[in-house]
Structure 1
Amino acid sequence: MGAMPAKHALPSWWRTQLHQLDDYVSSKSVPTESDIVIIGSGISGASVAYHILQQHKGHNPPRVTILEARQACSGATGRNGGHLKPDPYSFIGELAAEYGPEAAEEVAEFERSHVDTISNLVKSEMIDCDLVVTKAIDVQLNPRECKKAKASFDHLPGIGIKSAKRVNFTDQKEAEVRSRVKGALGCFSYEAGHVWPYKLVLHILGRCVEQGGKLYTHTPAQYISPEKDASDRWTINTPRGTIKTKHVVFACNAYTSAILPMYSNKIVPVRGVCCRIVPTFPVKRLTETYTLRWSWSEFDYLIPREDGSVIVGGAWSKYYRDTGTWYNNAKDNEMIEPAKEYFDGYMQRNFHGWEESGAYVDQIWTGIMGYSADSLPHIGQVPGKQGQFIIAGFTGHGMPQAWLSGKGIAAMVSEGIPFAESGIPRIFETTQGRLQKSRNDILGTKGEVAKSSARL
């Protein structure tokens, strides 16, 4: 059995201004019947619910019930780095090598369209969530890695990866000035965004509740019947009663295998750490998002906020050798001790102009990501389970993948369209074949230490 969410998670800074739906329950006990039950209220679950209710706006919407084990959006989405960062070249290069350029380009385009789609959503729904569209800068700090990354990047246009054309490379002569990062040897820059993820999701959940959706926080799905009943419905047990439903959507990422055991070892809880750093004295504000990369498995990521603070995640180098601190670990109610001091003096150490900022760690927390054994999310109909769907396993990279995946799942659920017409990249489809593979990228079985290092 996989892990259920820990009680009393460490407070994440994103959850400091709580929405009225944070602890919401639509009624004392859950409905005995629902057309669709969505398990999880992060960005994936919210997207599925929103798109299903939008499709039926104003006319006979299906009965949609969202179950959440803790508070609304208290899992990875409410604990992440706030990055909305499509990858146009790095992981895309690996995907091209393994699945071919066409499949890789499909993923790159899908991720890129998240920036526009979420920008349009924020405008049309008038969501107050601090969305900023800017540039991301990936800074290389290791000569060998920089050379390797550049060679791999240069190779992409020739094999038809058009997304690489959206990336600018700055070499060592200019990199330090361009990025303001000490010791920068080269940097890649391209469009990205950042956002207050909790506020985005809670607004969307609010819209779903207004349109008749039912939301039950503190209501974990404890058990799901292995078979349908005589009336072709699945039975879900919760502490607030039992629901019968034709459709179940598993949007519970790291916690999937607790209620869907066939995903044991395929989607694994991986713990990461994030913090908020605040300058004491005025400092020239950063305006772009960052990844600082010392090696393939040692990097941090950062977003600047309009209030002058920065959200930084990573510290992977401090703890990845002790597998138990992060692998198959769902304790976001505990700090990763070796990572705790890592962020002290972080901005002063790494950024020109921050030496006298007096920047200090204001808040630090852990979060649990759902890492997939083959590095790709599992999306689509659960193999062999008619009426069950999954949208999970985002491997710390859900913000530029989950929203439109939710839209695709919504169409599969309520309109019965096949996966191939959902608009979701083909290699994200969950299949029996993928579940049967013995591969485990998470533990770096390709011979590289901790290849998929935590990118919360």
Structure 2
Amino acid sequence: MTKIHPVLDPLPAFWSRDKDDFHEHRTTAELPAEADIVVIGAGYAGTSVAWHLAHDAEDGTPARSIVMLEARGVCEGATGRNGGHMRPDYYGHIPHYIERDGLEAAVELAEFEISHVQALKKFIAKEKIDCDFVLARSVDVWSNDEAAAKAKATYDAMLQHDLDYMDDVYFHHGPDAEAISGVKGAKAVASFTAGMMWPSKFITHLLKSLTSQGLLNLQTFTPVDTVTGSEASGFVVQTARGPVRAKTIIYANNAYVAGLLPEYRNAVIPCKGICTHIKVPDGKTPPHLPNSYIERSEENVLSYLIPRPDGSIVVGGSSRLFSPFREQWYDNVDDTTLIEASKTYYDGYMQRTFAGWEESGAYVDKAWTGVMGYSFDSNAHIGAVPGKPGQYILAGFNGHGMPLIWLGGKGLAKMINPGSPISESGIPYLLRTSQRRLDRANDSAAEFGDIIGDGSLRPTSRS
């Protein structure tokens, strides 16, 4: 069994280039002896639930102390290592969920994801957060004939459900796909509304606000070893720097959650991915690229891409290339190294993929890896940990956390603040953690490597 704890010296990601001293922030020099709530993880998940716990409490709710423990620096896990792409699922995995779980549950999840785009747009504007947020079209491209025909069939099938949100989707299958998308050899193209942002700037802004207002005690470089005790007696969170006693525990450490909750060992598996930053040589102007992309090559290698305001590109993916080499990515928490099978894939990527980039001189400026938490049934786990009162989880995002976590954290805070049942939290049914979901993962042989929908690596068993 792989040790499921973060390594302390990961490859530096592009997003961390502007980090300041707050990256290593400790609100107090000494670890607090106790807290009402301990949040484990200082990424998107932990920050979201902490923000909503602090700001969404109803009048009359007693003030509670919140301590956040992070094994590395601020936002140095998957959130600070992703593609910056807030892209909800309109039709990628939704047809699978319709078939498996029914139309109502699948649509509830799709609408939850889609609602993140406007919710975050409004929140970022309200809080005046400088995180390079851009509202744009996300362009889907298929350059393989068979895959393009299948995408058209999926789109047509989705239209039969008469879903309002599909009105935002544009789809074209035919010879104009290349001109519409700007991708060489495109056979089909679709687009819908999505967002792009600098994730670690967003998270850092929120954590600075929470700590400066005295609403959060943040302790970086404080890995958690164990959590013992009960809600009745109180929990003891043992860290490398000593213990913290708490009444409530929130596990927001995604890929590493099974290191502290072994019952999730088969439900959330750590898996590596790769991402790069591409720029053109100094003195050159990059071709204009206003949209974000999911691009599938003729060989069905999928890449996700966002353009930066400065004209550079953040692009990653290529899972089809490395999925056969399981030791390089599956159950692997070593983000100090690149994935050997795809580490050179993005050399010359813009030139061979996008019209007008042939003479750009675009090159890979930085490449890095990140460790994501992939769930057995392809859905995140949010809610009360089964059989452990006072403990909650927000993890297992399948490399798709950007349109899940913000409102997922809000719903989890609603469960904890006034004690609302999960049915009133706004958390979609498919994302609610449960003993049933854990039993299914533990009773089955979860084999990853099936590439479906948006190209994410999913369990081949979807029952």
Normalised-by-shorter TM-score class: over 0.9
**Larger CA deviation: 159-168 vs 206-215:** 159-168
Q: Which amino acid aligns with 1:333?
A: T
2:177 aligns with: 175
2:392 aligns with: 389
Report the CA distance between 1:19 and its aligned residue. 3.5
RMSD of aligned C-alpha atoms?
2.0
Report the CA distance between 1:147 and its aligned residue. 0.9
Report the CA distance between 1:320 and its aligned residue. 1.3
1:15 aligns with: 16
CA contact (8 A) 1:68 1:220 kept: yes
2:266 aligns with: 265
Q: What is the SS of the residue equivalent to 2:180?
A: helix
Q: Which amino acid aligns with 1:306?
A: P
Structure 2 residue corresponding to 1:80, chosen from 63, 72, 82 = 82
Measured in 2, the distance between the counterparts of 1:364 and 1:239 equals 30
Measured in 1, the distance between the counterparts of 2:59 and 2:15 equals 33
Q: Which amino acid aligns with 1:132?
A: V
1:422 matches 2:401: no
**Larger CA deviation: 351-360 vs 31-40:** 31-40
Identity of aligned residues (%): 41
1:218 matches 2:221: yes
1:290 aligns with: 293
2:153 aligns with: 151
2:38 aligns with: 37
CA contact (8 A) 1:104 1:161 kept: no
Count of aligned positions:
451
Report the CA distance between 1:321 and its aligned residue. 0.8
Q: What is the SS of the residue equivalent to 1:222?
A: strand
Q: Which amino acid aligns with 2:35?
A: S
CA contact (8 A) 1:35 1:245 kept: yes
CA contact (8 A) 1:73 1:201 kept: yes
Measured in 2, the distance between the counterparts of 1:62 and 1:298 equals 48
- Residues 297-312 of structure 1: pairs in structure 2 closer than 5 A: 298-312=301-315
- CA distance 1:166–1:441, shift in 2 (3 Å): farther
Q: Which amino acid aligns with 1:443?
A: F
Q: Which runs of 5+ in 2 are unaligned?
A: 459-463
Q: What is the SS of the residue equivalent to 2:93?
A: helix
CA contact (8 A) 1:272 1:455 kept: no
Q: Which amino acid aligns with 2:348?
A: G
Structure 1 residue corresponding to 2:120, chosen from 118, 121, 132 = 118
- Residues 90-239 of structure 1: pairs in structure 2 closer than 5 A: 90-212=92-214, 213-225=216-228, 227-228=229-230, 232-239=233-240
- CA distance 1:416–1:347, shift in 2 (3 Å): same
Q: Which amino acid aligns with 2:344?
A: E
- CA distance 1:451–1:153, shift in 2 (3 Å): closer
Measured in 2, the distance between the counterparts of 1:290 and 1:162 equals 23
CA contact (8 A) 1:90 1:153 kept: no
Q: What is the SS of the residue equivalent to 1:156?
A: helix
- CA distance 1:348–1:208, shift in 2 (3 Å): same
- CA distance 1:220–1:296, shift in 2 (3 Å): farther
- CA distance 1:435–1:101, shift in 2 (3 Å): same
2:461 aligns with: none
CA contact (8 A) 1:296 1:451 kept: no
Report the CA distance between 1:121 and its aligned residue. 1.2
Q: Which amino acid aligns with 2:428?
A: P
Q: Which amino acid aligns with 2:68?
A: I
Report the CA distance between 1:333 and its aligned residue. 0.9
2:358 aligns with: 355
CA contact (8 A) 1:443 1:450 kept: no
Measured in 1, the distance between the counterparts of 2:447 and 2:177 equals 31
Measured in 2, the distance between the counterparts of 1:297 and 1:246 equals 49
With normalisation by structure 2, the TM-score equals 0.93
